[in-house]
Amino acid sequence: MLLQLNHIYKWVKQGGKRVFLLNDISLDVKEGEFISIMGPSGSGKSTLLNVIGMLDEFQEGEYIFNEEPVHSLKEKQRAKLYKEYIGFVFQAYHLIDELTVYENIETPLLYKNSKSSERKALVADMLDRFNIVGKKDLFPAQLSGGQQQLVGIARALIAKPKLLLADEPTGNLNSKQGEEIMELFRELNQEGVTIIQATHSESNAAYGNRIIHLLDGSKQHQTSN
């Protein structure tokens, strides 16, 4: 078991009343799974991903990641945990505009204090694998959306995470580019990376081997492919 959510509640107070963002969510994720979270805008997909990614907190419930009780960890320990095991892919790519493709991919390794030679090798592998060697000295603004998202994924994978969290990874892309990204996810998953993605699109969701449907913060039902 990679991670386990038990009865997670998250709410905000609005006019004295609780508005639930996550309402009694329980979820088990095994290593090697590819899970799609579906639901309309505001259903809590992003919030759930952020909670899993330990970027956001929750008020009630238990969260066990890799046998560590996340709910009782301190901020610093949580940060350490997600930095080691989780990679993030965003709808808006969130590349650093001032850095080149190469440097964007390299940055997580810098924060891990990897050796220079090791960094070079790993980044070169990644560029090679995603066929973007020729673009390595370009800045994000010089790339198409699909290429930017490729860089975003490369960056998420460079530190070899166990879990890849993708929030609407194709939301800003056209359908062809989107399909390519999804194919890539499938490949990655087959290589053993656990993936959880949030998506609007039925066809993208279908890449997952399990689909979780959310509405107003509650889990509606779950389908398996």
Which residues sit at the interface with another protein, rule CB under 8 A?
Answer: 50, 53, 55-56, 79, 83, 88, 90, 94-99, 103, 107-108, 110-112, 155-156, 159
Nearest to another protein of 88, 185 (CB atom): 88
**How far apart are CB 222 and another protein at their closest, in Å?**
26
Nearest to another protein of 152, 178 (CB atom): 152
Report how far residue 219's alpha carbon sits from residue 80's, in angstroms, rounded to the nearest whole number: 29
**How far apart are CB 110 and another protein at their closest, in Å?**
6
**How far apart are CB 113 and another protein at their closest, in Å?**
8
* Secondary structure letter of residue 7 according to DSSP: E
**How far apart are CB 209 and another protein at their closest, in Å?**
26
Nearest to another protein of 56, 180 (CB atom): 56
For 19-87, what is the HEC assignment?
EEEEEEEEEEECCCCEEEEECCCCCCHHHHHHHHCCCCCCCEEEEEECCEEHHHCCHHHHHHHHHHHEE
Question: What type of residue is 49?
Answer: L
Nearest to another protein of 108, 210 (CB atom): 108
